[in-house]
């Protein structure tokens, strides 16, 4: 499993969110919605402090991570976090790992 944050997505997060020391942006599976590989679930994101990270990615001093508790949602896939210019928000792409 890989976590990739594009430069456009990283710029959006930097502009929109404030992180305190030790915090990062957590991605997780949440009920409701749909992804290209899940029905009834979508990707959630929150500013949080890592407790038991499954994967961490540091991009230009910003920490992005997925917790071990959310492995079920991402197992077998690489997650690419990009930026949707039309909606002015992150978009998520799952690729077979």
**Is 73 in a helix, a strand, or coil?**
helix
Helices and strands of the chain, counted as H and E runs: 2, 7
CB 66 within 8 A of CB 77: no
Q: What six digits make up the tokens of 91?
A: 């978009």
Q: What is the pLDDT of residues 10-33, one digit of tens each?
A: 999 999 999 999 999 999 988 777
pLDDT at 37: 72
Q: What is the mean pLDDT of the chain?
A: 92
Q: What is the pLDDT of residues 69-86, one digit of tens each?
A: 999 999 999 999 999 999
pTM, rounded to two decimals: 0.91
CB 2 within 8 A of CB 79: yes
- What stretch of H or E contains 11? helix 7-16
| Res. 7: pLDDT tops 80 | yes
Question: What are the boundaries of each domain within the chain?
Answer: 3-96
Q: Which CATH architecture has domain 3-96?
A: Sandwich (2.60)
């Amino acid at each position: 499993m890989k976590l990739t944050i594009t430069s456009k997505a990283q710029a959006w997060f930097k502009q929109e969110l404030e992180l305190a020391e030790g915090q990062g942006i957590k991605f997780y599976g949440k009920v409701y919605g749909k992804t290209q590989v899940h029905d009834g679930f979508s990707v959630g994101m929150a500013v949080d402090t890592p407790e038991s990270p499954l994967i961490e990615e540091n991009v230009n001093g910003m920490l992005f991570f997925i917790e071990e508790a959310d492995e079920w949602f991402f197992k077998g896939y690489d997650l690419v976090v990009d930026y949707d210019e039309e909606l002015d928000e992150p978009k998520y792409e799952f690729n077979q790992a």
